[in-house]
Structure formats: C-alpha cells, structure tokens
Structure 1
C-alpha cells in the first residue's frame, strides 16, 4: 500500500512540474489535459480524476469537454489540479501558474496559497485537531491581505475513493476530530481577493459512478457498465468514453444516467464575486510526529 502511494505521488509530482512549464498564451486547454493524462498513463499509472484546468475565477472541476476550444491567454491565472492512482491508491496535487505579464495580485494570491500549504503541512501529525489546520491556513492567507475560499476543503482519501469522508477546512472552525497515524489527506488551500465563496456553474464535465439502476436504453446500460468497470468510484470525463462509444449516442446515454442518478455530475465551480483564485495542493500520509508529503 505505502509503495503504491509513493509511486503515485512520484508520478504526479513529475507530471505536474513538467506540465506547468508548458502553460502559455494560446495553449488549448484540451491539449494541456490530454498531455497531463497521457503522461500519467505513460509513467505507469492511471488518472485518479480528469485533469482540472481552472482559469481565473473558475475555481475547480473544469476539464475539457469533447472538442473544447478554450485557450489559455496572456495574464490568466491557471490552476492545474491532477491526480494519479496505482491500483486504486491515490495521489492528488495542484499548482497555480500566472501566464506571461499577469497582474501583481496574481502573485500575491499564489504566495498566499503556497505558504498556507507549507504552514499546514508543518502542523500535521497524529493527534492534531482538524480545525487547527484550517486556522493555520486562514491566518497565513489573511496575512497576505487575501481570503481563503470558505466552502472548499481538503479531504481524506482511501483506496478507490477520492473523497473518503473527512474534510480539511481552509478556514477557522471548531472541528475536534483528531488526525490518526496512517491517514491519507489532500491539503489544498485556495486564496482569493473576492468574497471567498464558490458557486455552481451550469456546466458539468466530470462525473462519478454512484449505483446500478434499471435503465430503459440498452446503450445507456452499456455505458454504465463501462464506467463501473473502468473507473470504479473515481471521477471520469465524458471525453474518455468517446474511445468506446459514438458521441451522439453517448450524449443521450449520459443524460439518462444523470437523470436516473446512476452517475453524479460535478458542476464547474467559480468564485462567487468573479474574483481570481489561486490554489496549491499536496497529498500527505500522517505520521506520529509529522507527515510524509508524497507529492513534493
């Protein structure tokens, strides 16, 4: 188990660092996500979820839909969030890149999120209250004159489960739950100069298997079977399924699967006031006197 976590962490660290150097004005987002996901596979693992490329006020859950024409532009603040798994053991990491001649506030936000992550990691050990991590993150982000995003959190992970029940806050809150040795956590501060809240957008490009359901369409049953077999309970992108299914029929089946609650759609999230957001993230394994960061 530990060796699988370490292998997944090493892979996503390498892919993250390599991909962050490719981000530039005029780059198609679809090219970036395909590069990241392809690199994860070529390194000997599988994506734990679709590569997220969230730009400016878009905060999370954006991955390219089929045929995406979105381009990265000069001055954009790009959040690159990626994960890999080895036999279901997951490593999750994120970085923010300012493209070209970005506004100075972008760099302040980036510093706030990165330093908040560093302070949080220095706090983690067995026996620490979860609420203490949120306090440390919020204080560091406030020290830069920014706000944490209050309704986004880090999370615990388990085999084949990206969000396994424990939320790690980015703000001060009373949470006396104590970390335990062996916990696997994704710590991910978000910093903004907006109101510090995210809201749903209409778009959904990432999905997750929920349950088997009685379905009228044979094609929808086939799609659901493929999803269950290929991705277990991990998030996936519709564009991944186009390798197996014709796009027009796939669209109809996906609508049915959502309506029947066989799969869960993740809405793209944006900062409520339209402000820029920066993100930094590492995965850690909690130890008695500290933690091992597997995505450094």
Structure 2
C-alpha cells in the first residue's frame, strides 16, 4: 500500500507433501507375497502342485496436494510443519558485506528465528499467500471484468490461503486496483460499476498479514504494448531500490538511485517520445507490526534525507512512474481508511460513531480497511458515523492519488527484511 510523501496460464501449485492424516501406501501392501497353488491342497490334475506367485500390487503414488483454481486451499495443508519458503537472499553491500559470515550476526539470526514476536515464518507465510494469489490474479484479470469483481476475487483467495482468523491473520489492507492516471488508493466501493478496458494500465496492490506482519507487494499489468516501457522502467526502478536498500543505507541516496533508473526510460505514444518520471510525492515506507506505514519514507527522487535503514527493520520498496507531471493529487471518492495508531481519546457524542469505532477496533485494529469491508462486517448506514470519526482525528482517510488526466502510471513493489546477516526479498517470485 503506497504512502503519500510527507510533504503532502494458471499453473497449479503442486507439492509432494501429503495432507494431514492422509495414508500413503508403501511396501506394506507387499511385505508378504502370497503363494497360490493349483488344485485342492496344492495338487492339480497331474497330482503335482504347481506353485505360482501372485502379481505384486503396484505401489500407490505419494499423495500430491494441488492448489485449487481459484485458490481456496489454506497454506497449512501444503506446509504442515509451519516452515515456509525463504525469499530471495541478497548479501549486503560495501561496509556491511562482513555480516554474511559474521559469527556474531549468525547468532543474532538464530535468536531472531526463535523469537515468537519477530519470527520470519509469519512474513514468509504471508509472502507465499501473495505469490499464489497473484499467480491466479494474473490469469484471472481480463478486460471486461468489473473492478469490484477483480478486488473481491483477490481478497477471497487471500482470506482462504492465509486462513483468515480475526486479527491473527487476514488481508493486510484493501486491494488497490488503481487505473491509468490514478496511481494508488483506489478500490471499488459498493455500487461501483467501473469495467476494465483493454487500453487500461492497472496497478494491483494487495497485502497479507500474519500476526500483524504485513506483506506489501504490487505489480502492474496492461493488455496492449503501448506502455510496456513504462512498466519496464518502474520494475527496474523497484529492483534498483531493493538492491540499494540495506542496513545503514541512507533513504535519500536510495531515492536518487531509484530516480536515475526510472528516468532513463522513454515511452513512445502516437509517434511521440514521452519521458518516464518518478512520482515525486509518493514513497516506499517502513512497516511495523499492524502498522502499514511505520514512520520512515523512501522518496522516489533525489533528496537530502540522511535517515538510515536499521537492522531488524522491514520495508516496502515501491516505486511509481508516470508519463504525466510526476506528481499526484488527491481526488475521487474515498475508499481507504485506517484507525490511527496514536488516535486521540475523544468523547464521541454520536452513538453511531461509538458503535462503528467498536466494530473497527474488533475487525481491523490499526490495519487499513475499506468501505467494502465494513459492508462485509455487517455495518450499514455508517457514512455519517465514519465522517465523524475522521473529523475527530480517530480515523485517517486515504483518497485516491492521481496524476494529470490522460497520463499513465505504473507501480511495482517488494517487501524486504533487513536480517542481521543478509537482506531477504520476501515477496520475490518468478513473475517479478
């Protein structure tokens, strides 16, 4: 899920792991080969028994667990031991290269693995959910679909695979399906009939959380080649940001590297070359438990921020490119909200606002949510109460963020862990 800058074909997943309580037949079916004899008491017509062995039963193949299409089988069926795939490992650069072989840092790594508050398995579980759901989404999303159906399909897969359980596990934030010049923070509200068109550029930004560890990752898809170079530029810029990130890396320097990569690309539209611009007032961000924007921001342009990344932090490295002015403004109907982590203790006068806040705390805590999620939770006629909570500074609204009309924007994003020994790109997959 993006942060506004402070200034403003369907392959099935197959695993050889048998599902719990399944019985895998092996040699026990053939431990004793029975002997069958012709005639009574082993004697045939000629008086001599002819012995012949029964044919061995063919061994049954080891049970394979196959993900459904659409994906609806919880990940625990594939990983019953609770150990989930590690992300892409990148060594630290320059002055931190020593960490890879440091005995002290290896010890710190072991401690981190054993700490239930920061266990890597939670974020890796969320990442595997993301990979499987987005694999399905890439083949499922087609022109002619409503944005409502696209978002609902992605969220249904996320909830099923992460085995949604209150605030223990579930969606990390509303599924962003921002179109064309809209870069971020658009998801359809109830009644939205917007239909995806062949010429659209679609940003798909969705999150998964396990015990508050939020996996934040996004990609862009298009259906005709005009803006291929835009997508290429933004993906390359994100990979640059991932490469430059690390313990002690300065946020301003990462932004400069992202901008240099992004703005080395051009897009040809109608015979005219248009430069790709990094969107200057959007940023990547640190992530805290149950808090999508953790306090540190990585602008996408050169700046003087000397803040350093630190060991143990995790970040969403996300970049946005545009064929427009390279700056977004708020506009359109609001769908994204979150209760503020440091919300003031206000005496609410509206009973409906009190009731709605109770529902928000129960269902979402400090995780972001959207109006569709309130509908799903059984809330109705809540707009007056919701606006009251926003006015009181308890809930933050996140309007859509858009560049100039007629421009196109793209987004790619990965979540990285700054482990004591190495950098882990937990959301990396075969697709991006």
Shift of 1:17: 2.4
* Corresponding residue to 1:76 among 200, 214, 224: 200
Q: Corresponding residue for 1:144?
A: 265
The answer as to whether partners of 1:16 and 1:94 remain within 8 angstroms in 2 is no
Q: Corresponding residue for 2:191?
A: 67
**How far apart, CA to CA, are the structure 2 residues paired with 1:141 and 1:263?**
34
| Alignment CA distance shift 1:180-1:262 (3 Å) | closer
The answer as to whether partners of 1:209 and 1:263 remain within 8 angstroms in 2 is yes
Q: Corresponding residue for 1:162?
A: 292
Name the stretch that deviates more: 276-285 or 2-11.
2-11
**How far apart, CA to CA, are the structure 2 residues paired with 1:70 and 1:178?**
42
* Corresponding residue to 2:135 among 8, 17, 21: 17
Q: Corresponding residue for 2:353?
A: 220
Query: Aligned ranges for residues 110-129 of structure 1 at < 5 Å?
Result: 110-129=231-250
Q: Deviations for 1:123-177, whole angstroms, at most 9, x for unmatched residues?
A: 2221221122111111111111311000000000010110010001111111222
1:31 aligns with 2:149: yes
* Corresponding residue to 2:388 among 256, 268, 272: 256
Shift of 1:220: 2.0
| Alignment CA distance shift 1:259-1:245 (3 Å) | farther
The answer as to whether partners of 1:189 and 1:279 remain within 8 angstroms in 2 is yes
Q: Corresponding residue for 1:175?
A: 305
Name the stretch that deviates more: 35-44 or 50-59.
35-44
Name the stretch that deviates more: 20-29 or 266-275.
266-275
**How far apart, CA to CA, are the structure 2 residues paired with 1:285 and 1:258?**
33
**How far apart, CA to CA, are the structure 1 residues paired with 2:415 and 2:319?**
12
| Alignment CA distance shift 1:287-1:244 (3 Å) | closer
Name the stretch that deviates more: 224-233 or 257-266.
257-266
Q: TM-score, normalised by structure 1?
A: 0.94
Shift of 1:3: 1.2
**How far apart, CA to CA, are the structure 2 residues paired with 1:246 and 1:281?**
32
Which sections of structure 1, spanning at least 5 residues, go unmatched? none
**How far apart, CA to CA, are the structure 1 residues paired with 2:247 and 2:357?**
40
Task: Select the structure of larger CA radius of gyration.
Answer: 2
**How far apart, CA to CA, are the structure 1 residues paired with 2:308 and 2:280?**
21
SS at match of 1:125: coil
**How far apart, CA to CA, are the structure 1 residues paired with 2:191 and 2:211?**
30
More helix by share: 1
Name the stretch that deviates more: 1-10 or 237-246.
237-246
* Corresponding residue to 1:229 among 356, 362, 368: 362
SS at match of 2:208: strand
Matched length: 292
SS at match of 2:334: strand
Q: Corresponding residue for 2:86?
A: none
Shift of 1:290: 4.7
Comparing both chains, which one has the higher relative contact order based on Cα–Cα distances under 8 Å and sequence gaps of 6 or more? 1
Q: Quote the RMSD (CA, aligned, Å).
A: 1.6
Q: Deviations for 1:178-197, whole angstroms, at most 9, x for unmatched residues?
A: 22121100001111111100
Q: Corresponding residue for 2:102?
A: none
Runs of 4+ in 1 over 4 A off after TM superposition: none
1:50 aligns with 2:182: no
Which sections of structure 2, spanning at least 5 residues, go unmatched? 1-117, 163-168, 267-275
